[in-house]
Amino acid sequence: MAEIMYWEALRRAHDEEMANDPLVIVMGEDIGVAGGTYKATQGLFDKYGPERVIDTPISENGYTGLGIGASFLGVRPIIEIMSVNFAWLAMDQLFNSAAKVRYMSGGQLQAPVVVRSAGGTAHQLGAQHSARMEKVFMGIAGLRVVTPSNPRQAYGLLKSAVRCNDPVYINEHELMYNLKGEVPDEEYFHPLVGSEVAREGSDVSLFGYNISVHWCLQAAETLSKQFGIEAEVIDLYALSPIDRAGIVSSVRKTHRAVVVEEAEAPVGVGAEVIAIINEECFFELDTAPQRVSAVNVPIPYNHTLEKAAIPNAGDVVERVRRMFGK
């Protein structure tokens, strides 16, 4: 296996899928000549040309609609929306067209389109560039939602998404593009459903996705060394459909659960996971499930306030410690 960065894994997946199928195209702002804001399409413009690597105007609703329309005719577009904050502008096309066309046409049409977008709180980008919108996307029937936490997942999920006949939204995180990790040397397709056990444990289940998986792993090490609590970390890389069976299996093993998310708690991933736990294994719980999440405010620009609004590994440790009365 080679150790490469998250953005390099995405770039490799783009390149392989474009080489495999001439109907795979890439669209987005600055993804061509400039190689993409996060370098995920670096070099592809020179290799495949302007008809397959398309620099678009700053019009998310417009170019997302063009890509979705092309997918109805058999093209397989990968659409990059530079920041998830701007995906609000494309929701009509994605939610009302791509997600619904197969059902509304009785299976006569499908939308094999991939939308990639960077979200999350980076460093002092302000409230309008720090959105965590995965909970909005995962609530839309007909739309698959995945969120890779490492380069291996980023590579494999993008490749699987391109070959899927359903529309797929890939939720990336701005702080993870330079994250290094091992990616198989051979071609690898990651399943678009399921979850992964990132760390085995027996005392409490920590559920995270994308960047919060890393907070959970850091917290698990601290909990083990300082308090003798062995936490199991579950990586919820697929948010829709979410891995109900995987969630239940872990909680039945540990009898305690904490869901960790960077987004605000109301109507979020944590709320959905805890609903599943309560429905499926309520009588196996030793204590009430807990959530660790952002403060329910627009993200401040001020660095100190920004940090105060976003959870971290220390917050996870504190919540679990209190759960065990330590």
Residues assigned a catalytic role:
60, 129
Q: How far apart are CA 187 and CA 304, in angstroms?
A: 43
Angle between helices 269-281 and 244-254 (to 10 degrees): 60
| One-character DSSP codes across 202-225 | SSEEEEE-THHHHHHHHHHHHHHH
Q: Strand runs (DSSP E) across 23-75, as ranges?
A: 24-28, 53-55
Based on C-alpha coordinates, what's the Rg of the chain? 20
Q: How far apart are CA 323 and CA 301, in angstroms?
A: 33
Encoded amino acid at 8, one letter: E
Q: How far apart are CA 284 and CA 300, in angstroms?
A: 40
Q: Which two tokens stand for residue 140?
A: 């839309």
